[in-house]
Amino acid sequence: MTQGPRKISMLRAYEAAALGAPEGIITPVTTGDVHAPASQISKIFTIQSYLDSTYLERAILTQSPNNPIVPSTMVPVDMKGYAVALHPSSETPVAVEFKAAVSGGGQAASSTIILKPGQIIRPHGRPDSASGAFAGFKWGLPFGWLGGGLATLLVFPTPDSTVSWTEQQREVLFHRARFQIVAPASVPTVATARRNWPFRFPWLTAYFQATTAPQQGKAQLKVQPTRALMRLRLSSATGIAAPATMRILYVGMDDLDLDGTNALDTSYASFTNVVWGTYANPAGLANITTTYPLVEVTGAAIRPGGDGTGVSGNGGIVVFVDMDDGDDLAGQYVDVFRYGTL
């Protein structure tokens, strides 16, 4: 008695199709039609800018200007697929260059493509095309990028593989640099000031340690700055006896100072003030006595940026000034950590 109903149930899908139900109810499995899950690849990339009291904004790791993927970060992947996505939790954009499919379609290798966190790319056309596959790819940090951190790729092995993310843009660390605070009388001229405040990458005035080692290129990525952490390298073992004001001068910012001819007006500066409060080590502190204060700068004051895109080429100058007549902060260093969205 149990055998009959079981046999009838096996025909219900076909009966539903005959009555006009969607054909998707019947899903035949044929040889070669294997729906494999996506593969995940993760790597932590070295942050390409660092903190140095000699090189200051030129403390960036060496990159080859003629290679769109930073060679020291490049990872080859011999994996066939149809699409690649950069997970939105990634801390950096990545550059990807796809290899041609080994057979079926004869696709040429792609140009280097930059993926931002949350983006997906199908390099060879429609997902239902037999020639839409790639044979592998290489990936790493894009040339000129000064950040780094964790990046997670998803590789989709079948034509119908896809993903949809609804998360907001990820805030990423895009620049680290050390600045020296100067006395008012030591503020440099525009001609001699250091170009040190980029927000497009590759950076037009980037150098590796010395002015004889340019690492410049045409901009591919634009960052919307959101905030900056600043760390005063004046130890709490020394401390500040009274609140000290540091002025940040912005000269030649693209969004503030470009005129109608695309020239930068550098005859004046915009500014904001940062106040470092009093501090000292607590009594009895015996371990980790070298500590530095940390402040966060947000809002409109941190959004300007410049990279010399104007015809004058004088963009992106920031100067830190001791506002207390050069007595409290002049000569000290500030570490700056800049964050933004892509």
Q: Domains of the chain: which residue ranges?
A: 39-156, 171-341
Residues 306, 286: Cα–Cα separation, whole Å: 44
Q: Picking from 72-81, 98-107, 147-156, 289-298, which range would have the lowest pLDDT averaged per residue?
A: 98-107
Asked whether residue 245 carries a pLDDT value surpassing 90, the answer given is: yes
Q: Picking from 20-29, 45-54, 69-78, 201-210, which range would have the lowest pLDDT averaged per residue?
A: 20-29
Asked whether residue 33 carries a pLDDT value surpassing 60, the answer given is: no
Which band of pLDDT confidence, cut at 50, 70 and 90, is reported for residue 205? Answer: confident
Asked whether residue 296 carries a pLDDT value surpassing 80, the answer given is: yes
pLDDT above 70 covers a percentage of the chain that reads: 80
**pLDDT at residue 167, as a whole number:** 63
Q: How many helices (H) and strands (E) does the chain have?
A: 3, 17
Asked whether residue 3 carries a pLDDT value surpassing 80, the answer given is: no
Residues 136, 240: Cα–Cα separation, whole Å: 57
The CATH architecture that domain 39-156 belongs to is: Sandwich (2.60)
**pLDDT at residue 285, as a whole number:** 87
Contacts of 200 by beta carbon, 8 Å cutoff, 6+ apart: 219, 221, 222, 223, 305, 307, 309
Q: What mean pLDDT is predicted for residues 241-267? A: 87
Q: Which residue has the higher pLDDT, 245 or 258?
A: 245
Best-predicted range by mean pLDDT (237-241, 289-293, 303-307):
289-293
Best-predicted range by mean pLDDT (56-70, 119-133, 295-309):
56-70
**Strand order through the sheet with 270-276:** 270-276, 244-251, 317-322
Q: Which residue has the higher pLDDT, 178 or 22?
A: 178
To the nearest 10°, report the CA torsion of 211, 215, 216, 218.
Answer: 180
Q: Are 45 and 119 in contact (CB under 8 A)?
A: no
Asked whether residue 30 carries a pLDDT value surpassing 80, the answer given is: no
Q: Model pTM greater than 0.85?
A: no
**pLDDT at residue 297, as a whole number:** 92
Asked whether residue 65 carries a pLDDT value surpassing 50, the answer given is: yes
pLDDT above 90 covers a percentage of the chain that reads: 46
Best-predicted range by mean pLDDT (129-138, 303-312, 330-339):
330-339
Contacts of 239 by beta carbon, 8 Å cutoff, 6+ apart: 278, 279, 280, 281
> What's the whole-number average pLDDT of the chain?
82
In the chain, DSSP assigns E strands to: 39-45, 75-77, 83-86, 94-99, 113-115, 120-121, 136-140, 149-156, 171-180, 200-201, 221-222, 224-232, 244-251, 270-276, 294-298, 317-322, 333-341
